[in-house]
Amino acid sequence: MELEVAIGCVVLVVVAYIAGRVGYAIENDKRKESEHGKMNDAVDAAIKVEDNRARNLLIRALGDIGCQYETDEDGTIIFKYQGEVFQINASNDSRFIWIYDVAWWQMRLDDPDAELLKQAINKANEQAAVTSLYTIYKEQKVIAVHCRMVYYFYGNIESPHDYLKSILDSFFDTHQCVKDEFDKLKRIKGFCSN
């Protein structure tokens, strides 16, 4: 009987030893998985921060709305949206982007309504979020109308591509505002000259 108890004790010690080793191995694996998981989380967080920086987020949003883009030698992003050429200056070091719609309307300087166009731009700027301005090109004898705006564009935007579309659409609203003001001024001029 003593032999049976001794064998039973040895078996229990061996089973306890094996169970202890297996338990230790499982705990060690869990700890390694936990450390690996923490490392993956840290890498994922770093990637997310990088993806959500202004320029990277903008480039991804442009792709999402189907806009092909090019960059010039200064890094300006140039693309077409709704047939209009836009330029954007964006950096991953800033949370803001600068959008330009250059020379979307031109008129000859000798046009009798050129002065009305300047007034229409001033009136539109009272109403629109997007700023309109004009440049006079004396050599070409042309006045050109431009629009520009600075927008916040960073990672906590819920739907970057929808946000970008709404920003770009606001430029077309401003175009219409300038045209409407120009038409009003022309009607007033026509009424006053009769």
Domain ranges of the chain: 1-51, 54-193
In tens, the pLDDT along 150-173 reads 999 987 888 999 999 999 999 999
Q: What pLDDT, on a 0 to 100 scale, did the predictor assign at position 32?
A: 66
Count of CB atoms within 10 A of residue 43's CB?
10
Query: Residue 174 has which token pair?
Result: 């401003």
Report, as an integer, the average pLDDT of 39-48: 45
Residue 127 pLDDT class (50, 70, 90 cuts) = very high
Nearest to 161 by CA among 61, 67, 80, 58: 61
> By the 8 A CB rule, do 43 and 82 touch?
no
Q: What pLDDT, on a 0 to 100 scale, did the predictor assign at position 20?
A: 67
In tens, the pLDDT along 63-100 reads 999 999 999 999 999 999 999 999 999 999 999 999 99
Query: Residue 149 has which token pair?
Result: 């705006």
Q: Taking the model in full, what pTM does it have? A: 0.73
Among 15-24, 95-104, 171-180, where is mean pLDDT lowest?
15-24
User: What CATH number labels 54-193?
Assistant: 3.30.1460.10
Nearest to 124 by CA among 104, 139, 140: 104
Distance CA 4, CA 104 (A): 99
